[in-house]
Amino acid sequence: MLLLSAVAYTAWVLEVVLSTGLDPVQAYISELAAEDQPLGGLFRATDLAAGLCLLAAAGTALATGRAGASRRHRWALAGWSALALFGAATAADSRLPLSCTPTSDEMCAARETAGLVPATHTAHAVTSSLAMAGALAALVSLTVAARRYRWWAPVRRFGPWLLGAELLATGWSLASIAAFQAGHGTWALGAGQRLQVLLVALWLGLLALGVARSARPNPPDADGAERHGQDSDERSGDGRHRPPEPLPDRRPA
């Protein structure tokens, strides 16, 4: 589910081969799914799929306690909860599309500034903000969990680097949005957002790989015993090692 969500979340790369009429350096990613766009239905569907897959993966971890989603591992619990928020907000985002494309349509931008666009524009901004907040919280919490509890080697190794790059890309996106809303141009808003989303998708791929590896059974040692734990007859019922059996007395009577 995590891997599927990562693939669906990067469906915007199809604009490389499909004619969308939008400038990927300047346009919001959300504009690909706007109601007045010919391919809007496709991108709304992929956003919905990404959100539902994330929600299913996080919900399963929280409901079953797998992947460390327990009170004992609070960083993991917080991370999976944030991932569930990310998924729910992304799914809601797909159901609240923009009606037009403000970065490429001056009339749309003017109507948005005057508050003459549908309420879905405001709702979309809220769900988009919640989705990114959930994504950032999940990246931070689950990366910390991977390093603190020694889980998910790919996340433990590359997660901090992706997290640092994600924070920089988020800063770029927020500054660009503020500049655009203030009438100072887009500041390559589209490029910043696309980098931001791509880094999240790469991190999701690492998490999917780490969780999949941790779910595999441990291979047996050369003598056939499992590497994890010991044979049950070496332990007593309360988990403590049994004392060695005394040797029989072989002295002559």
Q: Return d(Cα 136, Cα 1) in angstroms, integer.
A: 19
Residue 150 has pLDDT above 90, yes or no: yes
**Helix, strand, coil percent content, the chain, rounded in steps of 5:** 65, 0, 35
Q: What pLDDT shows up at residue 131?
A: 97
pLDDT (tens digit per residue) in 190-215: 999 999 999 999 999 999 999 998 87
Closest of 197, 199, 195 to residue 25, by C-alpha: 195
Q: What pLDDT shows up at residue 214?
A: 83
Q: What pLDDT shows up at residue 217?
A: 54
Closest of 144, 141, 139, 145 to residue 170, by C-alpha: 139
pLDDT (tens digit per residue) in 88-111: 999 999 999 999 999 999 999 999
Chain centroid offset of residue 170 CA? 15
Question: Helices 74-94 & 120-148, crossing angle to 10 degrees?
Answer: 160
Beta bridge partners of 241: 235
Full-model pTM: 0.83
